[in-house]
Amino acid sequence: MNIAVVGAGLMGRLTALSLTRQGYQVNLFDKDDKQAKQSAAYAAGGLLTPLGESMSCEPNIVKMGIASITMWPELLSTLDVNVYFQQRGAIMVSHEQDKGDHQRFVQHIARNYAQHTVTSLNKQQLYSLEPELAQHFNQGLFLPDEGQIDNRMLLTALQHQLELEQVNWVTEAEVSQITNQTTHCQLTVNDQVQHFDLVIDCRGTGARASLDPNHQALPLDDLRAVRGELFHLYAPEVNLTRPVRLMHPRYQLYIAPKPNHVYLVGATEIESDDLSPMTVRSAMELLSAAYSVHSGFAEANIRQHISQLRPAFSDNQPQVLVKQRLIQVNGLYRHGFLISPVVLKQVELAVARLDKREII
């Protein structure tokens, strides 16, 4: 079966590599170059913290995230390039004036996820895990099964593997139309028509505009963009080893440590299609919140500030939509790295069913 994967962000790369290894002829198309700087995956934090997310997402997302964490090590072991991954837990803290948020989270976990370990920390216990957090906080929560992955290292490693395994990867490829039919799918790429047995569309928000209206049967008109913003900081005076979340009544702040004193600080969440640079308000909120967690961020160098659009349906649920010879993978919202291994398995199952001519 000749397959086209459209979009070379996280899901596109994972899908193209997996199907190539299963013996399919795979063609990967993307409007970007291979660095994927226009993708939502490039602007992600790479947190693998399903319980930390659990108050702001549905239980199935938490379940998918917990399953995906166990799948990442095996997936990474198949890549020739090492990717930074750790599962040493995450810490949640709150300032004295926000103790109510702390207590609400404790009650939420006890009510909904009592089978999972979440440890309340006093100042001394917090010091034993992250000494520099204990300088600013008297208590916290430890989620021992949470983790993180370096998003950009993973994109680079997947690029290397796709090239090594000789996937036909076409960059600067503008897909202007997808025509879905019973026996094949037709792509218009850079104004040239190409035919494939199956097309898998992984373009996120970019998937909204190119379906032939005469053949569309999938509800992508429900897809929207959610703007996210984050900073890359070089902070040699900060020594944190685990992801940290600050519980706050108005926004969710995370600090994700990377190798060599680099920290990701994010993330705003704005209902907008706007891809312009970060606003002053967002910058002030993120940086002041980071400083309130650790005063060492005052002397950090801002390596990058970045804004990107995340794809989401109205219910914020991911979907693998199958119709005739088109599979659409979309709506991973802000949970892409958290749930992508499970979503990949869903895509693999859909392809296997179609390959057996079980048209859905």
Residue 204: other Cβ atoms inside 10 A: 28
| Of the candidate ranges 11-25, 45-59, 218-232, the one whose mean pLDDT is the lowest | 218-232
Q: How far is CA 236 from the centre of its chain?
A: 27
- Per-residue pLDDT, 216: 52
Give the full edge-to-edge strand order of the sheet including 168-170.
168-170, 25-29, 2-6, 198-201, 326-330, 319-323
For 261-297, write each residue's pLDDT tens digit: 999 999 778 888 898 999 898 899 999 999 999 999 9
List beta partners, residue 93. Answer: 246
High-pLDDT (> 70) share of the chain, %: 96
pLDDT per position as a tens digit, 222-242:
899 999 999 999 999 999 999
As a whole number of angstroms, the distance between CA 236 and CA 65 comes to: 31
Confidence of residue 217 (pLDDT cuts 50, 70, 90): very low
pLDDT value at position 140? 96
pLDDT tens-digit series, residues 99-150: 898 999 999 999 999 999 999 999 999 999 999 999 999 999 999 999 999 9
Domains of the chain: 2-42+153-222+315-355 (3.50.50.60), 90-144+224-312 (3.30.9.10)
